[in-house]
Structure 1
Amino acid sequence: MKAPETEADFLQWYEDCWADRDEVEYPKLFGAISEEVYTLEQSGALEAWLESDLAEVKELDPNWGGMGVRVAPPSPEYPYWTYVTSGLSNPFTVVPGQEIEPGTPSGIGYEMVIHTSEEAQWPVLRLLDMMAYNLVCMRAFAMGHRYPVEGTLTGGETKLNGFVFVMDPSRPSHFQLESGQVQLLTLVGVTKNEMAFSRSNGMDRLMAKLVAAGSGYITYPDREQVQL
């Protein structure tokens, strides 16, 4: 398809793609989504990465500020909390009148998801920080990646200090917007040794151990390291 050519029509199309993801696709994937959005402009994460040595942009794009994190509380179908980014798949890489080929990624091409057993603030903060890293440092994530963090995942008492990026088998790997395809990257909290195990033995073997231990694709900050 082709993006609208006039500025007014393009802006409306941009907003419609955003709404289609958040108001149509997300409820289908995660259940009821709370109305509150934790935005990048509220967090200061963009400014923090802009001042880092890794920054690849000179100034912040005003389109980034409204991007953020949405929350889906537990439901009968999904009895856990879900935190999902909203904005990395916005069509900010498209210009009015541009032809969008089938299979083209929308925006960066993915959104990130964290599942937890209890409501918490740390998944919101982590996702906002990682969104800002993607945008300001122009470094993208992908399925199978590993991402260590400074300190612990929650900033408190936990043995988890990083994420692995996997596909949650309970959901589709991607969904489609008019602006392109969007992949779902599920982030699972792991220990340093578990991350090393996945590097040496493969992500599938690590996830099999996490599933056998009962945590699977949900992050439990108080869990023990699995038997490796």
Structure 2
Amino acid sequence: MKAPETEEDFVQWYEDCWADRDEVEYPKLFGAISEEVFTLEQTDALQAWLESELAQVQELDPNWLPLGVRVAPPSEQYPYWSYVTSGLSNPFTVAPGTELDETASSGIGYEMVIHTAEQAQWPVLRLLDMMAYNLVCLRAFALNHRYPVEGSLTGGETKLNGFIFVRDTSRPAEFTLPSGKVQLLTLVGVTRNEMAFSRSNGMDKLMAKLVDAGTGFITHPEREEVKL
């Protein structure tokens, strides 16, 4: 597998990879998905991380600005809202003419998803902020990671103040683009105590408790902490 060598062909290939993900793979994974994209250009997330002590780049790449978040409303198969990043798997690490290993990842190698029972704005803002963190601070996430946030997850009244990164067993764990493989990381909102429990006892045991409590892979900001 090889990326096109001429600049014109490479740009078309890059755009085709993007379209394949958003227009082919995402509808298969999430059902009908809104055409609207909430982009990094519409927020100050990139600039905020650039000004932080964690920043690993000196200036923002304009190619990051159109990256963003897509929204899938409830469907018969998936009766809840899904918010998914669009762009972290773009092949921005590839140059024209590059030989691509068949097992290689595309871009950072994943996209992130949050599921909620009700439509909300906070998942969009959280995902945009975490995309900016990945791009500016050059820090990637992975399955079984934990990510605490400042304050509450929603910015309002909720006991949830962090995410765990898990595989949603109701859909494929990954998909493949012409530019490589892409993993789907599902983010589930948790409390600090739940996060600590997963660190000591394993992510599977925490997820089992969340499933037993009736929340599973869907983040319910109003829920109580599960019995640990």
Q: Same fold (TM over 0.5)?
A: yes
Q: CA deviation at 1:44?
A: 1.2
2:212 corresponds in structure 1 to: 212
Structure 2 SS opposite 1:52: coil
1:200 partnered with 2:200:
yes
Alignment of 1:141-152 (within 5 A): 141-152=141-152
Amino acid at match of 1:164: I
Structural RMSD (CA): 0.4
1:39 corresponds in structure 2 to: 39
- Identity within the alignment, %: 80
CA distance in structure 1 between the aligned counterparts of 2:52 and 2:5, rounded to whole angstroms: 37
Instruction: Please list the CA deviations of residues 5-25 of structure 1 after superposition, one character each: whole Å capped at 9, or x if unmatched.
Output: 000100000000000000000
CA distance in structure 1 between the aligned counterparts of 2:72 and 2:225, rounded to whole angstroms: 27
Amino acid at match of 1:87: G
1:9 corresponds in structure 2 to: 9
Structure 2 SS opposite 1:60: coil
CA distance in structure 2 between the aligned counterparts of 1:127 and 1:83, rounded to whole angstroms: 8
2:225 corresponds in structure 1 to: 225
1:49 corresponds in structure 2 to: 49
2:175 corresponds in structure 1 to: 175
Moved over 6 A (4+): none
Structure 2 SS opposite 1:181: strand
Alignment of 1:22-101 (within 5 A): 22-101=22-101
CA distance in structure 2 between the aligned counterparts of 1:51 and 1:162, rounded to whole angstroms: 23
Give unpaired runs (5+ residues) of structure 2.
Answer: none
Alignment of 1:131-142 (within 5 A): 131-142=131-142
Instruction: Please list the CA deviations of residues 134-188 of structure 1 after superposition, one character each: whole Å capped at 9, or x if unmatched.
Output: 0000000000000000000000000000000000001111100000000000000
TM normalised by structure 1 equals 1.00
CA distance in structure 2 between the aligned counterparts of 1:10 and 1:44, rounded to whole angstroms: 30
Aligned residues: 228
Q: CA deviation at 1:196?
A: 0.4
Amino acid at match of 1:23: E
TM normalised by structure 2 equals 1.00
Structure 2 SS opposite 1:46: helix
CA distance in structure 1 between the aligned counterparts of 2:90 and 2:112, rounded to whole angstroms: 13
Amino acid at match of 1:224: E
Structure 1 SS opposite 2:170: coil
Alignment of 1:101-116 (within 5 A): 101-116=101-116
Structure 2 SS opposite 1:23: helix
